[in-house]
Amino acid sequence: MKEKIPDYYNNKDLIYDEIWTLLSRGVVDRSEDFRLPVVIVNRNSTSDGRVVVLRGAFKEKKILRFHTDLRSSKIEALKKNNNIYFLFYNKKRKIQVRAKGIATIHYKNEITEQAWKKTQIISRKCYLAEKAPGTVSISPNPGYPKELEGKNPKIEDTEIGFENFCVIESKIDEMEWLYLASQGHRRALIKINENNVTTEWLTP
């Protein structure tokens, strides 16, 4: 049976909007694959990646957002080199998106205050870790204090976590789209400037 051909298959002008639609869905819908991108940062001559939760996708500002611990190694890397890359794959739709941008670290400002207010206890718990993420430990541990294992603190007992909480906003300047289809793949490069967006087909 032939696959249904989506409108963007032969119309490159629909791709950019489709990407932001998928990104926005990822922010609000836990079942969307775009909720969990791989984020890649650079350190000297190497790069490394990790999965994060997509917390914001602001099409007008061309910004993607995630939350992290200020003490994590990706922050150290981003302070030296603010180039950042996101990799998304939606298995059901067979769409890969690679996004390149410039990261800004927000810490103890209006943006982090607003985001922290909306952060649920289960997520806040991660920011209660006494030691920095990635610190060597002689025994297995969840990071946060032992008494919180398997249970949640009261919201007021999580406020201290704000000390470690930061928001990374990345201004996206380039995206690459790959759509896998049995009748023939499609690949496109999208360049994003302040005032215009251009899309060109690439050979997959």
Ligand X SMILES: Cc1cc2nc3c(=O)[nH]c(=O)nc-3n(C[C@H](O)[C@H](O)[C@H](O)COP(=O)(O)O)c2cc1C
Which residue ranges make up the site for ligand X (CB under 6 A)?
36, 50-53, 66-69, 72-74, 133-134
In the complex with ligand X, which residue's Cβ is closer, 16 or 56? Answer: 56
Dist. CA 114–CA 191, nearest whole Å: 31
Tell me, rounded to whole angstroms, the distance of Cα 186 from its chain centroid: 24
CB of 29 to ligand X, least distance (A): 14
In the complex with ligand X, which residue's Cβ is closer, 88 or 177? Answer: 88
Closest CA to 112 of 155, 145, 159, 153: 159
CB of 122 to ligand X, least distance (A): 12
3-state secondary structure of 130: coil
DSSP state of 128: G
Residue type, 129: A
In the complex with ligand X, which residue's Cβ is closer, 80 or 191? Answer: 80
Tell me, rounded to whole angstroms, the distance of Cα 89 from its chain centroid: 12
CB of 75 to ligand X, least distance (A): 7
In the complex with ligand X, which residue's Cβ is closer, 98 or 119? Answer: 119
